[in-house]
Every structure is written in structure tokens, then in C-alpha cells.
Amino acid sequence: MIPKVFKEVIDLGDGREISIETGKLAKQAHGSVVVQSGKCMLLCTVVSNYKQSDVDFLPLTVDYREKFAAAGRYPGGFFKREARPSDGEVLTMRLVDRVLRPLFPKDYHAETQVMIQLMSHDDDVMPDAMAGLAASAAIQLSDFPFECPISEARVGRINGEFIINPTRTQLLESDIDMMIGASADSVMMVEGEMDEISEEEMADAIKFAHEAIKIQCAAQVKLAEAFGKKAVREYETERKDDDLAKKIHDMAYDKVYAVARAASAKHERSAAFDAIKETIKASFSEEEQEDFGGLISKYYYQAEKTAIRDLTLNEGLRLDGRKTDEIRPIWCEIDYLPSTHGSAIFTRGETQALATVTLGTSREANQIDMPSFEGEERFYLHYNFPPFCTGEARPIRGTSRREVGHGNLAQRALKGMVPEDCPYTVRVVSEVLESNGSSSMATVCSGTMALMDAGVQLKKPVSGIAMGLISDAESGKYAVLSDILGDEDHLGDMDFKVTGTADGITACQMDIKVKGLSYEILVNALKQARNGRLHILDKIVETIAVPNADVKAHAPKMVTRVIPNEFIGALIGPGGKVIQELQKTTKTTIVINEDPVTEEGIVEILGTGQEGINAVLAKIDSLMFKPEVGSVYEVKVIKLLDFGAVVEYADAPGNEVLLHVSELAWERTENVTDVVNMGDVFDVKYFGLDPRTRKEKVSRKAILPKPEGYVARPPRENNDRDRGGRDNRGRDNRGRDNRRDDRKPREDKKED
């Protein structure tokens, strides 16, 4: 029997709908929903253990997977099954995690899993835009302690009109691609890329998405009420001691405030804070320390956070002595690494990134193979964050989700500035060497300079800055912090990263921790970020103002040539013989692609030596050489035959034609070598296809004067009629059916 199904439908306002359904699938999970739009279906399940974990944080795992069967496809690879998540799946996990995590109680430490699966794919629906809705809807049907429903929506803008959850095709026309996560009351997360838009335009896009999210949150509430809202589970809360908290606050506040006001460096400041903490702990007896457990450390950190925030709100000062809108000292250098195609160092305060650029052919493009999207990236950026950059020693266990997310942000910041006609596949790698505040924005800056150093003709340089916010709801005070430190990232109410050119924003990432942040504060923060970006951009331009006119001497040069489809096979040769030999002799890399529209061949020639590239171009010109009827061409003898000479055109080496012995001279020629020899160079006239032989005909004698008294030989007469006709010579009597009837049958072979 099919169980009772509960369903809510969300109208997107343009004929499209999103439905949320529960009651049919995965009923043993603590909450499960199927979210559908068009033919796209996501299944989300949530489970949380009833026993608290022995940790002081929420062990939340958000997992998003796309099943290849959803698109009617097989996974790639030998084992033909889904394995580790792709970068695209990891990015969706991060988008959902960043909105969900702050809404769980701080003292809720139960192992919690949110699993989202793409079960059916629709080319016109991007599933990541519905993942946050699915996760929140499933949680609303559970008994988890969770503050309020949330949702996420993608917003685009086409011809000045905003659109919710655009298709991938529509995004190609859009100048905005942003994901917004919010509750009905507050925006909590923003991430996306833009085509140099203003701060006000970005705020308008967020407002538009928030209105759609409010409707999605209301639908979740209705579904939970219809299904039967569960009572929130009871769990073992953390121990509290208000008297102890006040005592530690009184002991620590002034001392922390004094250290914070002293404007010291990171390690010196950390050592001073640790000393205060140890002094406070030492004031308690061993029995008290054992009795209070981790409360002493917990309440100390609360006092430390309060003191630092108060310093900024009261005096406008920060941990390193800067004012709220002040940027740390910056120094830059390009061409640092001698063997790379491009390199740059960007150092801002105690954050440093070294970027390298590698140029290649389309063969080096980053292949994307997901059920929801197949394609390739001709520009991509990888970000590495080794433990030594923060002075730590810890094991390296592959690329982390954070590295994937930060690299994607920097890639989105820069990719719009790479010209569409850039012939190269471009890979940027950022190695973070020091980190104390926004290494991803340092990556954007170093990446910009490395690209210009490599000779990639960026439309405009891009800079990035990390911003913070400290606010006090009671007093109404707030402070926007430019170029935040790592410590300020943790204690602030909002941290956001903004990248852009001098003309507008190209990418952003925001995490807003305070409820009800006004759009006025948001716009003010974005404008302050713009001032910081422009300051950093000036430092970049001082180092390298415009891209280098050409790639480095040791970097490969790229030339692209379009050839008609019929010449592709000739360039490749039988079994690839021609192209392989050409690459070997010219020391180049040759890649041939076919234009899907025109079906023309697009030949990419990559080589460090211009001579080799020119040789390949000459070969292509040779293959494509088409002589005109009646024109005279210079040729060279490359082979002698009994009935003529094989010559090649001087303008097209390798393009050969037979010069028949009868076309060598007006006089009768007994031996070819009587007239020409190997290596001889002379002119011939081109007559096109000979109607008799159907082969190309050239003549040397046609451009020579006729000898005096020359008499042309009479044409050979057709004597076939006199000889009974060659075409029917005895053929009428050759059929097997006309065999002589009196022919004796073959006698059987006698046996011995």
C-alpha cells in the first residue's frame, strides 16, 4: 500500500514550479523529502544521533551527490560507479553547510548527516539551486533543534530583469550568477560572480532573491504542519555557570583589552593571550580546574572576544593597531620563478600567495564530467593551503573542501577578465605561503599579476579584499573592517570577500552571522570594500600596469589556424603519420579540433620556437594550396620516372604533381633526363584536371617558345571500328551461359 503523501507547491512566478513531497521515500530517516522542478528530482534525508558526541563542536556532515543514472549515463573510469565527489558536488555541499550550521544550537554536538542526491536530471534545471531548500525541508520534518527554515536560490539578470533559478542556457546571457541563502527574516550567505556590477546592483539582486526565499520558507512551514510537526528532541545541554563566567570576565577583560590595544604581531599577541589564560587557570586549584572542566577556557575566550570587539566599537582600533578602513602594508613581485610561464608574489601583512601560470593547448582543458553538466574549462585555478602557512604541523590528506571552495572563488573572480579569443588553456596555481587573513583574496591579486606576467591579455586587472563587521544591536554601533585578520574573521558578525576591477564587482562570498542585517549597512560595507579594492589595485598596477605584450621566450607560443574539413585527414595522415612526424621535426604540439557548427578544422600549434611554428604553418599552407588554371608556378624536381618527373610547388613544399614526359619540351623526348634532372627548378603552367586522365596536368613546354618549323604530330586516329571494336571484342560470347553444349563432361578421376 502506498503511504500517504504530503506535498507543497512553490510557484516561481513564470510558469515554473517547485514541489516538496514527503511520506513516500526513506521513511526510516529522521526527515526526508523529494524536491522536484520539471524532471529534476532531489532526495534529501537527515539523521542525527540521539547521543551527544564527545566534542565541543557540531559534527555536521552535508553530502551532495549526483547519480549518473539520473541523466541516463554511465560513470567514467574503469569501475563504472560513483566514487569521490567532484569539485562541483563539493561546492554545493559548502553552499548548504554554510547556511545550516549556524542555525543549530551551539551546545548541540550530536553526529548529524544531511544527504542530498540528484535522482533525476533535467537539462533546464540546475539542481544546486534547490539543494538548500531540500536540506531545510527535511530538517523541518525531523525533531532536530533547529532555529528556523531556510532556503537558497540562484539569481540571474538578463536585459536588466532579475530571474530566480535561471537555466544554464539563460546564465550564458546573464551578467549575474549569485546564490543567496536566507531565512524569512535574514540573509545569511551570498556567493557568486558578476560582470563588473555596482554595489547597489548587488544589493538589489540579494533583495530580489530574498523575496523568493521567503515564499519557499513559508511552504516548508505548511508542509511540516500538514505532516505533523514533531516535538523538538531533548538533549544533554552544556553545563553553565554564570558566576564563573562573570569571575573570569572580570579577571580577563582589562588584560585582554590592554594586549589588544598594544598593536602587536600575530605570534606575539597570541603568546600574550595564552599567558593571560594560563594565569587565570593557575588561580584555580587543581580540584576546581577538574570540577569546572573546559568551562574556564570557554569563558576566557568569551571574555577575550568581548574585549576585542569593544576595542573596535569604542575606539575604532584593531588588534594590529590599524583603523577600521586601513589596509596592511603590501609588496608585490612578478617574474619570480625563472622557469614558469608566469609568476607573481603578493604579500599583504602576514598573508602571502605565490601564483604560477601555465599555458597549454585545448588538450590541457579541465574536463568536467557530472550528470548535471558536461564540458570543459579553458581557464581554471587551483588553490593550495599547506599547514606551514599558519605555523602548524598536521597531516595532508588530499585536497580539502576549503581549498576547493577558495580556489573556485578566485577562479570566478578572474575568469571574466580572460579574453574569449585567448588561444591558450590557462592554469593558475596559488601556493599560500603565509596566512593571517584572506589568502583567497591574496590569490586573486597574485593570480592577476601572474597572468599579466605570462602575457595573457587580461581585459582589466582584478583585486580582492576580505571585510568584516562588528555590531552591537543594543547601542546601534557597528564597525566595518577592511582587510581583516584571521582573529577578526572568527569574532566578527559578518565576513565577506569582494573582488573586482576599477569598474565593478566580479565575484563575492559572504557569511552573515547577525540577524536582520540592514541593507544600508550591507551597501556601506560594500562601498568601503570598494575603496579597499582600489587601494590594492593601485599596488598591483604599480608592479605591472599592463599585460606583457608577448609570452616569455621559454613559454610556448600559440597560433591557431582554421582549415576546411577536407584537409583535416591530409594533415593527420594515415595512422597519424604526417602529424606525428611534423611534431617531431618542428618540436611543436599540434592539436586539431572540429568546430561543431561549421565543421571546419581548428588547428592549434604550440611551440617555443617560432621557426618550428612557421614550418607547421607552411605545411598547412602547402596542403591547402590550390593552383589556379592558367597560372604559372615555380616547381622543383623531386623524383624521376620513366614517363615523367614528379615536381613540387615552390610555394607549397610537399604538394606534388606529375609533369608528363610529353609536356617537358616541344621536341620528342626519349629520356626524361635529357631535359630535366633531380633538383632542377623551373616554371610550369597549370591546366587543371586533364579530361582524359582525370589527373592534374602541368606543362613545361606550354611556356616555352615553339621551335622554328615545328609541326605538331597529328592526333591519333580511333581505329577501333576497323579492328572490330575493342569494347566488344569477343565479350558477347564470354558468358558462362553460352558455353558450347557439345563440350565433353569431365571424367571422374579413376581410383587406383
Within 8 A by CB and 6+ apart from 231, the residues are 143
Which amino acid, 707? P
Q: Contact at 8 Å (CB) between 126 and 167?
A: yes
State how far Cα 740 lies from the chain centre. 81
296-303's contacts with Cβ under 8 Å and 24+ in sequence apart are: 296/244, 296/248, 298/56, 299/244, 299/245, 299/248, 299/249, 300/248, 300/252, 300/276, 302/245, 302/249, 303/248, 303/249, 303/251, 303/252, 303/253, 303/256
Q: What pairs with residue 632 in β-bridges?
A: 685
Ordered DSSP codes for 656-713: EEEEEGGGS-SS--S-GGGT--TT-EEEEEEEEE-TTT-SEEEESGGGSPPPTT--PP
DSSP 328: P
CB atoms within 10 A of CB 674: 12
Which amino acid, 540? I
State how far Cα 189 lies from the chain centre. 21
Q: Contact at 8 Å (CB) between 603 and 562?
A: yes
d(CA 267, CA 499) in angstroms, rounded, equals: 29
Ordered DSSP codes for 430-479: EEEEE-SS-HHHHHHHHHHHHHHHTT---SS--EEEEEEEEE-TTT--EE
d(CA 486, CA 355) in angstroms, rounded, equals: 21
CB atoms within 10 A of CB 566: 9
d(CA 487, CA 485) in angstroms, rounded, equals: 5
Secondary structure class of 557 (helix, strand, coil): strand
Confirm or deny that 123 is annotated as ligand binding: no
Alpha helices in 552-672 (DSSP H): 568-572, 577-586, 610-624
Q: What is the crossing angle of helices 295-315 and 266-282, to 10°?
A: 130
C-alpha closest to that of 34 among 131, 164, 153, 128: 131
What values do phi and psi take at 389, rounded to 5?
Answer: -70, -15
Q: What pairs with residue 35 in β-bridges?
A: 20, 42
Q: Contact at 8 Å (CB) between 184 and 218?
A: yes
d(CA 615, CA 586) in angstroms, rounded, equals: 7
Confirm or deny that 495 is annotated as ligand binding: yes
Which amino acid, 447? G
Q: What is the 3-state secondary structure (H, E, C) of 112-181?
A: EEEEEEEEECCCCCCCHHHHHHHHHHHHHCCCCCCCCCEEEEEEEEECCEEEECCCHHHHCCCCEEEEEE
d(CA 217, CA 133) in angstroms, rounded, equals: 8
Cell of 164: 530566480
User: Annotated binding residues, as ranges?
Assistant: 489, 495
User: Annotated binding residues for Mg(2+), as ranges?
Assistant: 489, 495
